[in-house]
Structure 1
Amino acid sequence: MIMNSLKKSMRLTKILAFALSFLIFCFSTEAIAAPSTPPTLIITEKATITGGKFSIDTTTPPLPATTVIRSAKLFLPAGETGTINKIKITGPNGLEFGCQDIKVKNGVDLIKACGGPAVLEAGGAITYVAEGSGFAPKLNTKLKVVLSDEF
């Protein structure tokens, strides 16, 4: 009788150990199977701020696939502030993204400040137009915007 109970207990222990091993394997495989992927698209636009103002109007080559721009990070010298008076991104189907009168400083994500992502359609050139004013304390400096498909 004791031997029977011991055998049943051992079987139950083996089943529980197997189930636990299986669960650990599944969860650790899931963590390995979802690596962080680098952005597939990065567009960098630069502008010179002169007299506290800038203006940029540029066209990029056609995109091979429709792409969602999820971040547009602004890089300025520390302490520099200003206003983006207008951003307009136009693609093959017309206006893809627009925004105006956004107060900015270094590190601002223009996509978040303007209320949402930009969907850039494949197949045609992308035109990026931006204007800004009121930049200080340096009236003459550089501005950089990095558009990316990652958050």
Structure 2
Amino acid sequence: MSQRVKIGKLAVLLASLDKEELTPFQDQLEGVKFCTGRAGSMNMQKVIAAVETAAKRQHIISEEVYRETHSLYHAILEALEGVTRGQIAIGDMMRTVGLKFAVVRGEPYARNGEGEWLAVAFYGTIGAPVKGLEHETMGLGINHI
């Protein structure tokens, strides 16, 4: 049995902390694959595409295996529910987001047979498309591969 990896916690830390703030957590990142990036838009599809593109380019998921893309998509949607408070819409509701994201792939269960999972976390701002009127937001989604 392997040790339990808290992929959701790691995703939240990666999305919300600066590089220097992450230093104490470097040893926890061993044994997982991860990537980070930024997405800002009034278009939800652009946010989803930014995460998917980063995960594929950084080899967190394989472009050749549909179930990996499918798992990522559901983790992204779950995380966006948190960002948007359950109303998965931004531009249609006259709001915009500026987000940092993280994708973490690992085995969160001690039993080896449970397999790999993906966690997606967003941290940033959401609000009216007027500079200075946004507020902080965060979302986390986890899905099995």
Alignment TM-score > 0.5, same fold: no
Using the size of structure 2 for normalisation, the TM-score is 0.26
Using the size of structure 1 for normalisation, the TM-score is 0.26
- Structure showing the higher strand proportion among its residues: 1
Larger radius of gyration: 1
- Structure showing the higher helix proportion among its residues: 2
